[in-house]
Amino acid sequence: MVDLDWKAKMVSSDIPNKSPKLSNKLQVSIPTPFRFSNISSPLSTSASASSAYDYYLRLPELKKLWETKEFPAWQNERVLKPALHALEITFRFISIVLSDPRSYSNRREWKRRLESLTTSQIELIAMLCEDENEDKTAAGTAPIVDLTSSNGVLARESSSAEVWKLHGETTVVSRTSKDSLLPRLATWQKSEDAAQKILYTIECEMRRCPYTLGLGEPNLSGKPSLDYDAVCKPNDLHALKRSPYDHCIENHENATLFTTHQILESWIQTAKQVLKRIASRIDAEIFETAASDCYLMERIWKLLAEIEDLHLLMDPDDFLHLKSQLLIKPVNETEAFCFRSKGLVEITKMSKELKHKVPFILGAEVDPKGGPRIQEAAMRLYSEKQEGNKVFLVQALQAIEGALKRFFYGYKQVLVVVMGSLEAKGNRVVAGSGSVDSLSQVFLEPTYFPSLDAAKTYLGEFWNHELGGSGLTRWKK
């Protein structure tokens, strides 16, 4: 227990002190931080392991597609393009799963999981497009194809659109990508139902966006379509569908693992761009839009966890055989497999570094002597209720932290199920009471925002003293 002077720490002029039960001293329990011993930074791995990971996934070639700037006026290109790549790779994944000749493959659950994953991705893509419309500098810069201006007159050959009329003279145009795999899935008996569900999901999720994706969705709103083939370049993307070891490894889980991680890395690339945008918008004091981006980033962390969960559907024997074939093994006892992804390490560090933006958001400087300036500024922000945008933003920053830690906790559980608990612990048969693996270190470390945490602790204790238990009594009645 720590004896803290309430009047010195709490901004009492902003919060009425009516309760006679509230003394000048407030007793607050401060939890002891979890101690780590003999562990270096968890966000590290060997250069050779990272290079092997990049080579296996053909990441250098994927990065060229992500980073090529085809439309200089379109600010959202670097954010949206990798997300569209991930979606297109998911269409390929559906084809791989439904073409799997193994009698013991759980096609039913695979189909459900991939439909769910596709829906989650479309929701995030719609959010990215919707936010683009709200940014005045970015609105109207996306490469679109507006077929409504043709009054329903289409080319005689190689037309990728269909036209019909609704409510009298209203012309509705539905454009279908020529190169995407989704229209082909819609014509295949095994995947027809899944493809139709995806198309209707696109129709529903894109309703608030200035344009639709142009993958064959009905487009009942008659909006212009994104020039999907020019942006996504499906043919160039699917040219990278085989791993470098396909010629020497006969294992059906090879395509599953390879495709899963290509989707993962594509969303990591989008996450990187979103985090850069969050930092720049905070610096420009565009707090409301920055908060929206933070909640988007929270959902991306949840999506990354959903992608990692696909490992649970892989056949245990085939996957472990593949693991041996690919020589996947920890370099040392503290290394986690996920940290071979340099992109994942980078977005983890970028997410944590957002904590340095809190003093600027609160308009307070850090006390070099360790005083509670930031904490007091946070308490004022919460209690005065005058700057809602800042409250939304600091709440969203903490939401990112929660999603990040849940991702690494969930990843450790996936490792246990897929590879066994010994592998998840880094092959350490005997572990001391003070030792901990690198994954546990990430999700057990103290909060990234101690001042915000302390401010809420004090406010909670304040209102407990103010109500004096009357609130609990009232609810019981």
CA distance to 261, 264, 328, per residue, from 318 (Å): 17, 21, 14
pTM summary value: 0.86
286 inside domain: yes
Percentage helix, strand, coil for the chain under 3-state DSSP, each rounded to 5: 60, 5, 35
Q: Which phi-psi region, left, alpha or beta, contains residue 427 (left: φ > 0; alpha: ψ -120 to 50)?
A: left
Q: Which phi-psi region, left, alpha or beta, contains residue 163 (left: φ > 0; alpha: ψ -120 to 50)?
A: beta
Residue 225: phi, psi to the nearest 5?
Answer: -110, 145
Total domain count, the chain: 2
Q: Could you report the per-residue pLDDT of 314-364, keeping only the tens digit for each?
A: 999 999 999 999 988 776 655 678 889 999 999 999 999 999 999 999 999
Which among 26-30, 175-179, 390-394 has the top mean pLDDT? 390-394
- Residue pair 419/320 in contact (Cβ under 8 Å)? The answer is yes
| Closest by CA position to 3, among listed 23, 32, 21 | 23
Residue 60: phi, psi to the nearest 5?
Answer: -55, -40
| Closest by CA position to 282, among listed 125, 386, 392 | 392
Where a domain ends, among 188, 214, 242?
Answer: 242
**Of residues 328 and 92, which shows the higher confidence score?**
92
9 inside domain: no
How far apart, in whole angstroms, are the C-alpha atoms of residue 299 and residue 59?
A: 24
Percent of the chain with pLDDT over 70: 78
pLDDT number for residue 158: 42
How far apart, in whole angstroms, are the C-alpha atoms of residue 193 and residue 188?
A: 9
| Closest by CA position to 87, among listed 189, 199, 190, 253 | 199
Using a 10 angstrom Cβ sphere, with 0-12 exposed, 13-18 middle and 19 or more buried, the burial of residue 307 is buried
pLDDT mean over 458-474: 70
- CATH number, position 370: 1.20.58.480
Q: Are residues 147 and 194 both part of a single domain? A: yes
Q: Are residues 267 and 384 both part of a single domain? A: yes
Q: Which runs of E-coded beta strand occur in 86-230?
A: 144-145, 161-166, 170-175, 225-226
Q: Answer yes or no: is pLDDT of 475 > 90.
A: no
Place of tokens 């994954």: 439
Question: Which residues are paired to 28 by β-bridges?
Answer: 2
* Least reliable range by pLDDT among 143-147, 288-292, 309-313, 356-360: 143-147
Q: Could you report the per-residue pLDDT of 29-59, keeping only the tens digit for each?
A: 544 554 544 444 567 677 888 999 999 999 9
In a 3-state reduction of DSSP, which class is residue 134? helix
Which among 137-146, 292-301, 435-444 has the top mean pLDDT? 292-301
Mean pLDDT of all residues in the chain?
84
Q: Is residue 468 very low, low, confident or very high in pLDDT (cuts 50, 70, 90)?
A: low
- Residue pair 89/269 in contact (Cβ under 8 Å)? The answer is no
64 inside domain: no
pLDDT mean over 251-277: 97
Q: Could you report the per-residue pLDDT of 381-422, keeping only the tens digit for each?
A: 999 999 999 999 999 999 999 999 999 999 999 999 999 888
Residue 107 makes CB contacts below 8 A (sequence gap 6+) with: 97, 98, 100
How far apart, in whole angstroms, are the C-alpha atoms of residue 439 and residue 135?
A: 38
Radius of gyration in angstroms for the set of CA atoms belonging to the chain, rounded to a whole number: 26
Q: Are residues 154 and 293 both part of a single domain? A: no
20 inside domain: no
Q: Are residues 237 and 89 both part of a single domain? A: yes
Q: Which phi-psi region, left, alpha or beta, contains residue 58 (left: φ > 0; alpha: ψ -120 to 50)?
A: left
Domain span at 108: 69-242
Where a domain ends, among 199, 225, 242?
Answer: 242
Q: Are residues 255 and 204 both part of a single domain? A: no
Give the H/E segment covering residue 35: none
Q: Is residue 167 very low, low, confident or very high in pLDDT (cuts 50, 70, 90)?
A: low
**Token pair listed for 73:** 């006026």
